[in-house]
Amino acid sequence: MANSKELVQLSEWSPAFTEELLPVSKQVSLLFHISYLCLAKFPNLERLLRKRAVETQMLFGSSEALLLKCVGTSQNLVSSLFPMMILAVEKNKPTLAIKFLEKARTWIHDIIKDVEKMVTSYTEHNENVATTTSDIITEKSNTEQKSAQLSQEHQEMEKTIKELDKKLAELGENLEKTQMLINAKNQELQSHIKDVTSKSSGLGILAAIVPFIGAIIKSIYDAATAPGAAEKTKALQSQLDQLNSEKSRLEQQQWSIQVQKMDFHMKIAKLEIDMGSIPNPHHLKEVQCYLTKIQQILIQLKNLWGNVQSLLETMKQKTFVGQDLVEEPDFKEEFVNSIQCASKIWSDFGGSCTKGAQIFKIQSKDAYAFLEIDPSSLSDIVWQKEYDSVMAQLQEIKVFEGGPAAIKE
């Protein structure tokens, strides 16, 4: 087999991506809910917002189907491709392995195309939400009571929001600095892992079919690597975990302040509604941000599958084309062990995709039940109760914790 270093292309993608997907998808539905309440007395805008919310439901339903397809492809790798690769090595039948590698590349090609379409759908939907936000702002401007003076209470809340914006700006700067440190430490860890896997045939094979950096780290702990390799890996990972922990702390603090801002914006909106003015669609603008985050997760998913597709092609060329596998019995044993380990990792990835699909399923149905109620029919007491419930759910959200390499022994 060619130098395994040529096969190593690690990804920072984590199979535990659902930890990030869950809060983001909740943020979208809850912010839609608040926006819906804000437009209770403006039926034309309410209908327009309802349309966007329904589009989001449908998009989440399609996202569920996409992740279930990822589950199916992961299962095909585990139940079909990997056993055939083992058989090809044990029976010295490289043409059999090549056949199934090509079939797997076809599966993955289809997945990539589907993800690309979904990413495009999110782009188009986000543009529609942006247009709706703009329409609301225009309508607000056309109907604004020019002579109305801001109340003292209104002015005080605007002042508080500006103070919160300053805190958010400071947190943003700290997050940016922390992310730069994380990126640098990730590069250092990547370089170290590539060096370790290049010196171990078994780890090199595993890295060629499992592009998850966390899984390779765990394998380094379990394998008999060069002296000091596991210790250095642990040290680098510990440093990275600390940075990711600091990032999570800052992000949670950031989210807490954002929720405070939402509350003040909503109080201002209530004052504007009482004056007969259309409230500013601040919450709808936030919806766009979180839809973009979901889109970014899908882009990472597309890049992951693209990476796997390239790795399988490299595996085919370096391992099964023009080589007599019978002459390398030690390689066969390492290969089989690595494939068996890879099967477990890909099974876990499929499980994560299943959880992700379930999140989209719940969000596409239960989370939009508020659309069944006409907000203009709510009494002030019921309206306030509905709003308090949404705010309580927003406050309970925990942002994504930890980093992609945070896989322990």
User: Quick count: other Cβ atoms within 10 Å of Cβ 187?
Assistant: 10
Among the listed residues 306, 102, 304, the one whose alpha carbon sits nearest the alpha carbon of residue 212: 304
Q: What is the pTM of this model?
A: 0.81
Which own/partner pairs from 47-56 qualify as long-range (CB within 8 Å, at least 24 positions apart)? 48/132, 48/135, 48/136, 49/132, 49/284, 50/371, 52/125, 52/128, 52/129, 52/132, 53/368, 53/371, 54/368, 54/371, 55/125, 55/128, 56/28, 56/29, 56/32, 56/125, 56/291, 56/368
Cα dihedral value 107, 108, 114, 115, nearest 10: 160
The alpha carbon dihedral of 405, 232, 183, 239 has a sign of: positive
Domains and CATH numbers, the chain: 4-141+150-396 (1.20.1170)
Model pLDDT, residue 14: 64
Per-residue pLDDT at 66: 94
Non-local (6+) Cβ contacts of 267 within 8 A are: 157
With a cut of 50, which residues of the chain have pLDDT below it? 1-10, 146-148, 402-409
Residue 335 Cα distances to 87, 201, 338, angstroms: 11, 8, 5
- Position 120 scores a pLDDT of 95
For residue 114, the model assigns a pLDDT of: 95
Is the torsion defined by CA of 256, 165, 404, 364 positive or negative? positive
pLDDT of residue 11: 52
The predicted pLDDT at position 398 comes to 82
pLDDT at position 403 is 46
Structure-token match 């942006």, residue found: 130
**What gap in Å lies between CA 185 and CA 175, rounded to an integer?**
15
Q: How far apart are CA 265 and CA 160, in angstroms?
A: 10
